[in-house]
């Protein structure tokens, strides 16, 4: 099978595994290549305390729900265990340690060059994840800073930060939760850099997960009504955060999601610490000094270390020939969940508020269906 599969799937994370299970079910042969030594390497590598922000009832991959005992928001370890069991159950047999260095199309077939050789197939599914390569921005004189600057991909827990002054850059879900983790770990001060206006939403509102509300309401209300409803609810739950430096964008959260593809920050407890002045919100960075950072408001604060929760890029252009034709300016596929170019598919590059895993399950089925139809 490995010598001439019909399909090559790149990446054995949730997307690649879901596509594999769907192809297997439809009788399509495939080779699943994974650069790491295990499935779900991104999930293995995330910081320890991470939980899914979406509920397990709406986050499982095709044909296999999460086990009963797992709580509604599976922990990082629960997800890793689930992916391990998923790969075993469907006998997906990923080929580990196989990093794809080039994917090229000629004469209607794809040739994938990987660590130990080349594989040709009539279709390729790119499922390398949207967090393949850490995005590390630079600032003036950041090389003079005496403390450590770590990307969040290298942050697992805050034990080494006890008694230290920490700055977290980036107010996405990771940045906000890492700031909370650092405070709990006993960092002597924690600052969270929030550059612009930002929508914040509690993960649960009156016991109902934000994801469940989104799934229930998605598409049923006009965006402006949905904006008004969600803002009113969020305001009741969190109040006005502007005294603490978090301003709300002019556009509502639903409009922003539709028009800018920006998801709100899903709060799992950081806001409560910000409101109790345990975590300080600071504006964007102007430059580094030897001992700290100068911010856009002119303030200079000392820090012992910085965590960059500044996100990732897909890095698809590093291995895919003709990538510019199928990727947008940010390096994300323009078309996902269906054929992006003849025989070329992308799965898992969307992060809707209804949940990334929820979306992966839908995309994987669609892509497998499409591929299976082309075979028969």
Partner 1 sequence: MSELDHWHPVALSRELGAKPLRATLHGRNLALFRTRDGVGALDDACAHRGYPLHKGRVEGDQLVCPYHGWRWSADGRGASPGTPCAKPCAVAWDCVERLGAVWVKPAGADAAFPYVDVGGHTEIGTTRCRAKAPLEVVLDNFIEVEHTPSVHAFLGYRPGTIAAVDCETTVTDDAVRVFNHGPQRPLPKPLRRVFDIPDDAHFIDDWTTRFSPVHTVYEQYFLAGSHGPRAGEALRIAVFFTPVGPKETDLFVLAYTNATRWESPVSAALRIPLVMALVELEVRRDCALLADMADAPVSLTGRALGRFDKALTASRKRIERIYRGRREGALPVVDEG
Residues 6+ positions from 36 with CB-CB distance below 8 Å: 12, 44, 96, 97
Sheet holding 7-10, edge to edge: 95-96, 30-34, 7-10, 123-126, 344-346, 339-341
Closest separation in Å from C-beta 358 to partner 1 = 16
Closest separation in Å from C-beta 111 to partner 1 = 43
Contact between 175 and partner 1 per CB under 8 A:
no
Per CB under 8 A, the list member of 155, 183, 295, 319 interacting with partner 1 is: 183
Residues 6+ positions from 192 with CB-CB distance below 8 Å: 167, 168, 171, 175, 176, 179, 270, 274, 279, 280, 281, 282
Contact between 49 and partner 1 per CB under 8 A:
yes
Contact between 306 and partner 1 per CB under 8 A:
no
Handedness of CA 132, 330, 18, 153 (dihedral sign): positive
The footprint of partner 1 on this chain (CB under 8 A) covers a number of residues equal to 35
Question: By CB under 8 A, what part of segment 214-273 binds partner 1?
Answer: 268-269, 272-273
Per CB under 8 A, the list member of 57, 99, 255, 286 interacting with partner 1 is: 57
CA distance 116 to 199: 46
Q: Show the 3-state SS of 129-144.
A: CCCCEECCCCCCCHHH
Closest separation in Å from C-beta 163 to partner 1 = 6
Structural tokens at position 178: 């890492």
Contact between 81 and partner 1 per CB under 8 A:
no
Per CB under 8 A, the list member of 124, 192, 212, 265 interacting with partner 1 is: 212
In whole angstroms, how far apart are CA 156 and each of 160, 162, 208, 313, 331?
A: 10, 14, 29, 20, 27
Contact between 281 and partner 1 per CB under 8 A:
no
Question: By CB under 8 A, what part of segment 132-161 binds partner 1?
Answer: 158-159
Per CB under 8 A, the list member of 27, 65, 71, 197 interacting with partner 1 is: 71
Contact between 184 and partner 1 per CB under 8 A:
yes
CA distance 89 to 70: 18
Closer of 208 and 258 to partner 1 (Cβ):
208
Point out which residues bind partner 1 (CB under 8 A): 49, 51-52, 55, 57, 67-75, 78, 158-159, 162-163, 183-186, 207-209, 212, 268-269, 272-273, 275-278
């Amino acid at each position: 099978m490995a010598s001439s599969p019909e399909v090559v799937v790149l990446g054995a994370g949730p997307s690649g595994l879901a596509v594999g299970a769907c192809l297997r079910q439809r009788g399509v042969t495939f080779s699943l290549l994974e650069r790491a030594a295990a499935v779900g390497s991104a999930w293995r590598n995330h910081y320890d305390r991470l939980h899914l922000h979406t509920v397990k009832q709406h986050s499982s991959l095709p044909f296999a729900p999460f086990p009963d005992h797992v709580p509604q928001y599976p922990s990082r370890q629960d997800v890793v265990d689930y992916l391990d069991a998923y790969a075993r159950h469907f006998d997906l047999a990923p080929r580990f340690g196989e990093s794809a260095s080039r994917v090229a199309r000629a004469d209607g077939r794809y040739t994938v060059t990987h660590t130990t050789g080349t594989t040709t197939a009539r279709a390729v599914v790119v499922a390398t994840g949207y967090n393949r390569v850490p995005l590390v921005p630079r600032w003036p004189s950041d090389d003079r800073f005496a403390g450590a600057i770590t990307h969040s991909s290298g942050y697992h827990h805050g034990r080494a930060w006890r008694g230290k002054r920490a700055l977290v850059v980036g107010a996405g879900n990771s940045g906000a939760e890492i700031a909370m983790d650092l405070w709990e770990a006993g960092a002597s001060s924690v600052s969270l850099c929030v550059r612009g206006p930002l929508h914040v939403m509690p993960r649960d509102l009156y016991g109902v997960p934000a994801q469940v509300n989104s799934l229930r309401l998605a598409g049923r209300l006009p965006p402006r009504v949905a904006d008004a409803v969600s803002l009113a609810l969020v305001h009741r739950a969190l109040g006005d955060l502007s005294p603490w430096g978090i301003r709300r964008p002019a556009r509502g959260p639903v409009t922003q999601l539709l028009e800018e593809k920006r998801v709100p920050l899903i709060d799992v407890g950081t806001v409560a610490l910000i409101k109790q002045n345990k975590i300080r919100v600071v504006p964007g960075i102007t430059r580094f000094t030897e001992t700290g950072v100068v911010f856009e408001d002119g303030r200079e604060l000392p820090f012992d270390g910085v965590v960059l929760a500044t996100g990732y890029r897909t890095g698809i252009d590093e291995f895919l020939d003709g990538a510019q034709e199928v990727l947008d300016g940010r390096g994300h596929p323009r078309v996902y969940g269906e054929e992006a170019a003849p025989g070329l598919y992308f799965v898992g590059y969307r992060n809707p508020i209804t949940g990334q895993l929820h979306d992966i399950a839908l995309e994987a089925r669609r892509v497998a269906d499409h591929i299976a139809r082309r075979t028969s």
